[in-house]
Structure 1
Amino acid sequence: MEEQAVLEIRHVSKTIGSKKIIQDLSFEVYPGEVFGFLGPNGAGKTTLIRMIVGLMKMNKGDILIHGQTIKGRFEEAIRHVGAIVENPEMYKFLSGKRNLLHYARMFPGGIPQARISEVVELVGLKNRINEKVKTYSLGMRQRLGVAQALLHRPSLLILDEPTNGLDPAGIRELRDYLRRLAREEGIAIVVSSHLLSEMELMCDRVAIIQQGKLIDIQNLRGEGAAEAQTSYFFEVNDPAVAQAIVQEVDPALPVVLRPDGIEISAGRERAADIGTLLVQAGLRLYTMKPLTQSLEDKFLKITGSDQIA
């Protein structure tokens, strides 16, 4: 049985005046994955997030959360969502705990004290939660914002530029926390960011959006990513002989001759077989390594853009 998507974007379009902001976007986000939005300035990432959480209306299409449309069943749909669309706003003169207590009282029926303690532990603020928010670092405030968004046990967490203003240590801390949250709690997390290197480390999949259109979805982890072909470089003592051996065994496999070795495009298992073949043929194999593209390389190749934001 196929796993049900937490979030479904179905042919969504948004026009403001004569400008097309979002054009026929469709994709799904599943439980336990970190899903990223990437795109140049003005690509429509924030507009899409605002439509998901009901801050803007779409012109066409539909958005479903756990199968509930936000058009006709907004309250039922949005109860599954926790979100930080801008920087989390807190009462700085109150402690982190008092902020969470104040927010918890807004929910019908309230939120148990045990749940507040649970999310404080989850985001790693147990030792500082009774201190005033004005003493917190930016990274701590972001984590307090995440704690606030998690109080009502959402199954979808949406974060717009969560690493803005964080130092490298804070970025790493938030990234590791979000990945753990998705893995251990099974929450679907949607993240928008302009830091491609961080998205590569943080996300399972990323949607590349340009001029409001979905250009591609890159699978960064999991089965599809593992099976994808890449380029492998074999450093050998006689590259010409290595090229001849590989082409004799598999004439259809392109082999690029380099001064210090050969380069082929193949899956991991096939590359390992070729390495064994070269050694058995008497060649000295010094190294065998994948030549992978970074997410930034893929992004620029797909969009043809040098504006990454």
Structure 2
Amino acid sequence: MRKIGVLTSGGDAPGMNAAVRAVVRKGIHHGIEVYGIYHGYSGLMNGDIKKLEVGSVGDIVHRGGTMLYSARSEEFKTPEGQQKGIEQLRKHGIEGLVVIGGDGSFQGAKKLTEQGFPCIGVPGTIDNDIPGTDFTIGFDTALNTVLGAIDKIRDTATSHDRTYVIETMGRNAGDIALWAGLAGGAESILIPEVEYKMNDIIERLNRAYNRGKKHSIIIVAEGVGSGVEIGKEIQERTSFETRVSVLGYIQRGGSPTAADRMLASRLGARAVELLMNGKEGRMVGIQDNQLVDHDIIDALSQKHSIDHGVYTLSNELSI
């Protein structure tokens, strides 16, 4: 393989730049020309493609976001849009493509694979909701951003004897809320994978209050519902002064942690190795700290699940 392309798609995640850097430099190290495709699948269809050199990816390993930019494209979901993308790849002589993104991005890679174009998927999303890998690029950074917010909000909650509801991102996955809630000592964690009962939350708050605790932190994953509405119900049913913080897009930005830079570098380089070895239609991941790869179609057919042991532990420690 002499020429490969790399693109980032969907929501940005800290560490995407480190993955792009790894793809470019790993490829060049092995004598392969690497082309950056800007603005995701939209840019692919429009031919927004540029050859990248070693210096093109200098000083980006520490930057959040993505130097290749990102965009969502409804047109690429159509066979006509996919064919336009393949035509652009062939026009530039690109023989394989590395796609860095979440499940929507992988769906695009799957479609290209089904039409005979070699693709490798690299999981990049703060949601940590891609089956086949223990962690996705960006999750650790987002987790630490949320944890920092919890620590700061707890200072205020303690000072004013308040209950705080903190809503995190994660779409339909509860990993950010669960991990940050456990690490941050939250009294209750609400995630979409486990049905919650408001009566249990109220009982826990009252029990804590009766033993002298006058402040509490409740973490709500966005897939559960509105943190504002949940906070309102808590205040109405307990009379505890309750405030709500919706953390929003602050969770997607920032310099990637060491863990995310390492993960991105390893996964990006492994994607190039797979293309060099004639593999296609695969996704790379990490399981038990070992690099793995799976059929991308099989991976997308699986359902993401949380670590229920972590959820049980969070309940045991928040008595």
Which one has a larger percent helix, Structure 1 or Structure 2? 2
Structure that is richer in strand per residue: 1
TM over 0.5: no
User: Please, what TM-score do these two structures have when normalized by structure 1?
Assistant: 0.28
TM-score (norm 2): 0.27
